[in-house]
Structure 1
C-alpha cells in the first residue's frame, strides 16, 4: 500500500499540480482491492465507470455495455471461469472454491465480487478526498498531523465522522408500527438513516461541527454497525491513514486550486464524495519517499 501511494505521488510530484481524485484517491484503493480480489492489472480501468453508475443518483444500466467493453457481469463471469480452471492466491479463487462446495450460486458469486469491488474502493476514494479538504479547511489540525504523524489513525476516524463517505445506512424495513419524531411509520416501510446527520448530532458529539483530531470519544457509524458493520473497515482505515499521512508529508504546502465550495461533488445519494479535487503545490523534482 505504501509503495502504491508513493508511486502515484511520484507521477505528479514534479508538475506542481494534480487532480487528486483521478490521479490519487481513486487509483490507490482500486489497485489495492484488485490485488486482493485477483483482478488483472490491465483490466482495472474498466471498473471506475461501472462503479460510478452503481452509486449514482439515477443509476444507468450497470450491466450494460460501455463503448464496446464487456459489462461487469460478463467480465466477472469470464473471470470466475478462469479462476475455476486455474485458481490463484486471491479472494476470488477462495470464493470460487466456496461455490464449488455449494456455498454460493454463480449469480450470488458474481454479485458478491462486484459488491466487494465497489465497497473496496468507491468509499475509500471518497474518504481520502473528503479528508484532504477537511485538513486544508482546518490548517491547525493539518499542522498537528504533519508534526505528529502518529495521529493518522485519529485523523481517519475524525474524517469518517466529520465528512464521511457514506450518506445513508443500509436500508432497514419496519416489522411493526413505529413512531419517530411524531410521524407514524406502518410496518413494511423502508427507513433510511442519514449517517451524515447522525455524526453531527450535538447530543452525542460535543461541538460536532468542529474538526478535531484530538476527539477521543468518537463512536461514529462511518463503517456501519452490528451485522451491517463493513467487512473491509480495517483495509479502508489503513488506506486512509497511509494516503493522508504520506500526501501531506511529501507535499506539505499542498493547497486547493479552487474554492472548496466550488469543488464538484459526485451526483450520488449514497456516497458523499468529490468528483474532482484539483490541487497545487511546490513541484518536487526528486520525490522524497516517506517511511
Structure 2
C-alpha cells in the first residue's frame, strides 16, 4: 500500500470528477491512511464497498464528534444544534433521536405528502415553456426539497429562501467562518421558531413534530438539533440527487429514452441513479475509539475515518462495469443513504421527491437538453456532498 503524499480529496480535479481518484485509491488499497488538510493530520479513507459496509456497522467507530475533539484544540464556533445533532452522536442518545426522526418518514407519512410534493413541482414548473432556458438546480432541485422540509417545520414562506441559503453555506469547505456563521443563523432561527410554536399551541406539521419529540423524550436543545438536521439533510442531499440524476440521464441517451417512453420505470431506476453519482461523496465524520481492523487493515485508536459511499458505489467487485449507467442493474446495495443504524431515515421522502421531479420533467419536456457542454458544468467545492452549482437546460 502506497499512501498519497497530499490530501487527494482537496485536489480541484477531485471536485470536478472524483471517480478517477477513487479508482486509483481503491486499486492501491480500499482502506488506507491519507493526509488531510495542511497541518500534518491524517485519516483513514475507505473506498471499497465491502469495507464500507463493514465500517458503517463497526461499533468501534464513533460519530460523537464532541468526544473526539474534547482534548483537541479547535477554533471552530458551530452552533450546538449543528455540532451536536443525531449525526454526531452514538447510542443511546442517537437511538432516541432516530426513533423520533423515523416516525416522520414512514411509508404512510410519505404517501400522505405525495400530493403536496406534486403540487409543489407543478407550481415550480408554472411558466416553463418549450424553447426556454432554465437552471434545473435553482429552479427545481433546490426549491422543491426546501419547500417540503420547511412545510414540515412550519417555516414561513418569507423565510425559506434565506434559511436555504444558510443551509447551503454549511457545506462550504473553503470558508469555515462562513460555515460557523451559517450554523448560528440556523440554530438561532429554529430555536425562536420552536419556542414560538410551544408558546402558541395549534395544529400543524411543526406542532406534530414537537409532540413526537416530547413523546420521544427529547429536550428543548435536542428538539432544535433534530429540526436543524431535518432542514439541512432534508434538502441539500435531495437537491444533489435530483441534479445528478438528470445530468446522468442526459449523458446516457439510451437510458433517458427508456424512461421517457415508460415513466413508470423511474421508481426502479432511482437506485441505479443514486449508485452512479451519489449525492453523498464522503459520509459524515467518524473516528476510531479503539484499535480495529477493517478490510484486513489495522486502524489505530484516535483517527478520523472517512467512509466514501461515492467510491463504494463504483467498486467493480460489487457493481461490474461501475462507470456505466445500467438501468437493468440491481443497484439496491448502493450506499448513498448509508448503512446500519445511521442509514438516512429520510430516504423515502428523498426518493418520492426525486421520482416526482423526474417524472414530471420527462413527461412535460421529453426532449430537454443541456444548454452548455457537460464538461463546462461546475461542481460544489466540498468533499462531503457531490452536486452541481447549476444545471442549465433548454426545455423541449
1:108-164 CA deviation, whole Å, 9 max, x = no partner? 222211110011111111000001100000000001001111111122211110001
SS of aligned partner of 2:332: coil
1:60 equivalent in structure 2: 177
Question: Given the superposition, is the C-alpha separation of residues 51 and 249 from structure 1 closer, same or farther in structure 2, using an over 3 Å criterion?
Answer: same
Question: Given the superposition, is the C-alpha separation of residues 89 and 168 from structure 1 closer, same or farther in structure 2, using an over 3 Å criterion?
Answer: farther
1:108 equivalent in structure 2: 222
1:35 equivalent in structure 2: 151
State whether residues 62 and 72 of structure 1, in contact with CA within 8 Å, keep that contact through their aligned partners in structure 2.
Answer: no
CA distance in 1, matches of 2:177, 2:133: 32
Please, which moves more after superposition, 148-157 or 121-130?
148-157
1:49 equivalent in structure 2: 165
1:173-203 CA deviation, whole Å, 9 max, x = no partner? 2233235578642112121111111000010
2:308 equivalent in structure 1: 194
2:332 equivalent in structure 1: 218
5+ residue gaps, structure 2:
1-116
Report how far residue 233 of structure 1 moved.
Answer: 0.6
Alignment of 1:1-291 (within 5 A): 1-13=117-129, 16-58=132-174, 59-62=176-179, 64=181, 71-97=185-211, 103-179=217-293, 184-282=298-396
5+ residue gaps, structure 1:
283-291
Report how far residue 217 of structure 1 moved.
Answer: 4.7
Question: Given the superposition, is the C-alpha separation of residues 52 and 246 from structure 1 closer, same or farther in structure 2, using an over 3 Å criterion?
Answer: same
State whether residues 255 and 327 of structure 2, in contact with CA within 8 Å, keep that contact through their aligned partners in structure 1.
Answer: yes
Report how far residue 216 of structure 1 moved.
Answer: 2.4
CA distance in 2, matches of 1:32, 1:215: 30
CA distance in 2, matches of 1:64, 1:14: 41
Report how far residue 54 of structure 1 moved.
Answer: 1.1
Report how far residue 101 of structure 1 moved.
Answer: 6.5
Report how far residue 37 of structure 1 moved.
Answer: 1.9
CA distance in 2, matches of 1:179, 1:85: 51
State whether residues 5 and 242 of structure 1, in contact with CA within 8 Å, keep that contact through their aligned partners in structure 2.
Answer: yes
1:286 equivalent in structure 2: none
CA distance in 2, matches of 1:101, 1:208: 44
Question: Given the superposition, is the C-alpha separation of residues 154 and 65 from structure 1 closer, same or farther in structure 2, using an over 3 Å criterion?
Answer: closer
Report how far residue 88 of structure 1 moved.
Answer: 3.9
SS of aligned partner of 2:140: helix
CA distance in 2, matches of 1:12, 1:203: 43
The TM-score with structure 1 as length reference comes to: 0.88
The TM-score with structure 2 as length reference comes to: 0.66
